[in-house]
């Protein structure tokens, strides 16, 4: 009898030990936020692994006799030889309106000292993007408030538009202006029947803490923070946090989209994201390919950006617009990561150091920038005044390059250059000063109808500012009518004409 009991308890022990080994692992190596564990044979891909002390890991490599985990948060207390256990949960982050106005880390934990986050629920960080059927094509504009973008590279809700350029060319500024403009519009139309606010998520990846602090300050100052969530994974954190942050931000944005609302997400920037993923992959000893990136680096960004979408009515009519940012080296858009992301997005806003240094700001190179889907969402009045601008601008650039060598220009060439000079001036815009769509349309109407033609080029930007303040102070009802009618007809044209004539009398 004793023998049998001994035998049975030995077997139970063995099973328990195996089960325990299945769900509890021992850290055999730990470096730079990547741990390799013995045991944990039950771990699932992307499962949260509890390392104790508030440190969470994610199982990324499921090997035959070991599991590779990346560690999120401050992992300084985790040591080799320590234990970690499976949780049975996939990595998820809190979502909901309670995140607006908050700064959180890659796991959605508060970084702003404003207390607990009141979440509406948790969304998995990785999710399959909506298929074709629940989507519809973009049909509502996302006004960035940047005249050049709204006129020549219009963005629609649900679109993915890449902002790409070298260091310090104004990439972040464009994205932040778009966020600030959403807040301005939200404030202006709050409570109006049928108005759909846009909520923003700004994901800071691998930036200096001082930069992130400046961004928070700017958004606070401009009253945009209350509509915005900032997901911060700074350069000081380990690569795993940088790798997860955009997916976490995306889940927070998806909440708005899935619940019939509109959201805008900025990934600043995906070059640093790719570098963080490369680091994680090398530490996990995955085979590396071109530029030492792992073979699935395309999938890294495609599965993220595919999640931005415009859903159809049956699916709640929500949208998630994505503005990923990529930093290039010496304008090289054909490098590995830039070409990947260009091919995934619906267009790109290309910024040039040369233009930036010449004071052409925003430093958008119109010729190689494109927005492939947004124009179907542009309001008609905008199309009426802006449809030909991109072509005119391209023609002007080409002729201007030649004209600097010759002095004798035929009348037609001179006319194109004169007009282009003024167009280029009109498109200059300081950062943090987004314009309303009404003012943008009115300025372009005046340009199209020759009201800037006899103004010296050097004074055009003053004239533009004067027109804007004249209209907002003296003709607010006309500005309102532009948006209300949404298109120019004979009557509105006549009103604009008389308003512009009046303005020109005040602007000598
Ligand atoms: N339209 C503008 N007019 C005037 N100044 C601008 C404009 N846009 C950006 N700047 C200024 O240029 C500087 C760089 O801008 P920003 O940080 O947006 O560039 P970036 O490309 O994101 O830089 P980084 O590569 O460091 O991330 C900032 O000081 C900003 O204030
Ligand atoms: Mg930047």
What is the per-residue pLDDT across 106-150, written as a single tens digit (0 to 9) for each? 999 999 999 999 999 999 999 999 998 899 999 999 999 999 999
404 has a pLDDT exceeding 90: no
With residues binned 3-state (H G I as helix, E B as strand, rest as coil), the percentages for the chain, rounded to 5, are: 45, 20, 35
Mean pLDDT confidence for 53-59:
90
- Residue whose entry in the numeric block shows the structure tokens 């994505």: 322
Residue positions counted in the chain: 508
Concatenated DSSP letters for 305-327? HTT--BB-GGGTS-EEEEEEEEE
**pLDDT reported for residue 7:** 86
pLDDT-based confidence at residue 8 (cuts at 50, 70, 90): confident
- Nearest CA owner, ligand 1 atom 24: 168
Ligand 1 contact via 173 beta carbon (within 6 Å): yes
Instruction: Indicate if the alpha-carbon torsion angle 281, 284, 286, 291 is positive or negative.
Output: positive
Q: Is 108 left (phi over 0), alpha (psi -120 to 50) or beta?
A: left
| Distance separating alpha carbons of residues 165 and 357, to the nearest angstrom | 13
Distance CA 43, CA 36 (A): 13
What is the C-alpha to C-alpha distance for residues 444 and 388, in angstroms, rounded to an integer? 11
By three-state DSSP, how is residue 103 classified? Answer: strand
Structure tokens at 142: 């996302």
Residue predicted with more confidence, 488 or 1: 488
Of 147, 172, 175, which is best to mutate to test ligand 1, by the most ligand atoms within 8 angstroms of its C-beta? 172
% the chain with pLDDT above 70: 98
> What's the CA-to-centroid distance between 431 and ligand 1, angstroms?
8
* Range scoring the smallest mean pLDDT among 163-177, 200-214, 397-411, 441-455: 397-411
- pLDDT value at residue 406: 65
Q: Checking phi first, is residue 236 left (phi over 0); if not, alpha (psi -120 to 50) or beta?
A: alpha
- Interatomic CA distance for residues 22 and 37, integer angstroms: 11
pLDDT in tens, 415-426: 899 999 999 999
For residue 21, pLDDT beyond 80: no
Phi-psi region of 220 (alpha: psi -120 to 50; beta: other; left: phi over 0): alpha
Gap between the Cα atoms of 119 and 473, Å rounded = 43
Averaged pLDDT, 319-348: 96
Name every residue whose Cβ is closer than 8 Å to that of residue 204 and which is 6 or more positions away in sequence: 211, 212, 215, 230, 231, 232, 233, 234, 245, 268
Indicate whether residue 167 lines ligand 1 (CB < 6 A): yes
Query: Annotated catalytic, 222?
Result: no
Residue 20: what pLDDT? 62
Q: Which numbered atom of ligand 1 lies nearest the CA of 165? A: 21
Q: Per the residue annotation, which of 11, 20, 372, 504 is the catalytic one?
A: 372
Q: What's the pLDDT band for 54 if we cut at 50, 70, 90?
A: confident
pLDDT of residue 11: 82
- The pLDDT score that the predictor gives to residue 22 is 67
**Ligand 2 is a single-atom ion; what residues have CB below 5 A from it?**
171-172
Burial bucket for residue 124 (CB in 10 Å: 0-12, 13-18, 19+): middle
């Amino acid at each position: 009898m004793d023998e049998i009991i001994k035998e049975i308890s030995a077997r139970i022990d063995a099973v328990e030990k195996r089960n325990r080994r299945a769900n509890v692992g021992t850290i055999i190596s730990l470096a730079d936020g990547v741990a390799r564990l013995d045991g944990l044979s039950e771990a699932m891909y992307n499962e949260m692994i509890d390392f104790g002390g508030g440190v969470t890991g994610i199982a990324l490599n499921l090997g035959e006799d070991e599991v590779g985990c990346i560690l999120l948060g401050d992992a300084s207390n985790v040591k080799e030889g320590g234990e970690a256990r499976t949780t049975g949960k996939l990595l998820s982050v809190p979502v909901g309106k309670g995140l607006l106005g908050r700064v959180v880390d890659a796991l959605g934990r508060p970084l702003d000292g404003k207390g607990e986050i009141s979440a509406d629920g948790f969304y998995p960080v990785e999710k399959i993007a909506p298929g074709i059927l629940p989507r519809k094509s973009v049909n509502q504009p996302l006004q960035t408030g940047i005249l050049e973008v709204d006129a020549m590279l219009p963005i629609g809700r649900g679109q993915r538009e890449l902002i790409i350029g070298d260091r310090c060319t104004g990439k972040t500024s464009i994205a932040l202006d778009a966020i600030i403009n959403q807040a301005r519009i939200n404030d202006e139309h709050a409570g109006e029947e049928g108005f759909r606010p846009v909520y923003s998520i700004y994901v800071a990846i691998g930036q200096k803490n001082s930069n992130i602090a400046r961004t928070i300050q700017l958004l606070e100052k401009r009253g945009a923070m209350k509509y915005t969530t900032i997901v911060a994974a700074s350069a000081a954190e380990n690569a795993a946090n940088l790798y997860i942050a955009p997916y976490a931000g995306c889940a927070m944005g998806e909440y708005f989209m899935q619940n019939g609302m509109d959201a805008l997400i900025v990934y600043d920037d995906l070059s640093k994201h790719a570098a963080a993923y490369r680091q994680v992959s090398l530490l996990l000893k995955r085979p590396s390919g071109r530029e030492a990136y792992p073979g699935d680096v395309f999938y890294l960004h495609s599965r993220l950006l595919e999640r931005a979408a415009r859903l159809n009515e049956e699916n709640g009519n929500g949208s998630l617009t994505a503005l990923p940012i990529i930093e290039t080296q010496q304008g090289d858009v054909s490098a590995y990561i830039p070409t990947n992301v260009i091919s995934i997005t619906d267009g790109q806003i290309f910024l040039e150091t040369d233009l930036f240094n010449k004071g052409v700001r925003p430093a958008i190179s119109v010729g190689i920038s494109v927005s492939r889907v947004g124009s179907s969402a542009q309001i008609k009045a905008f199309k009426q005044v802006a449809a030909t601008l991109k072509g005119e601008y391209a023609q002007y650039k080409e002729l201007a390059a030649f004209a600097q060598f010759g002095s004798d220009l035929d009348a037609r060439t001179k006319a194109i250059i004169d007009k282009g000079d003024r167009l280029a001036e009109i498109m200059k815009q300081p950062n943090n000063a987004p314009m309303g769509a009404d003012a943008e349309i009115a300025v372009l109407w005046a340009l199209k109808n020759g009201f800037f033609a006899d103004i010296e080029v050097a004074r055009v930007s003053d004239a533009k500012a004067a027109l804007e303040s004249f209209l907002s102070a003296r003709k607010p009802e006309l500005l309102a009518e532009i948006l209300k009618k949404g298109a120019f007809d004979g009557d509105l044209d006549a009103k604009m004409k008389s308003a512009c004539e009046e303005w020109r009398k005040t602007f000598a």
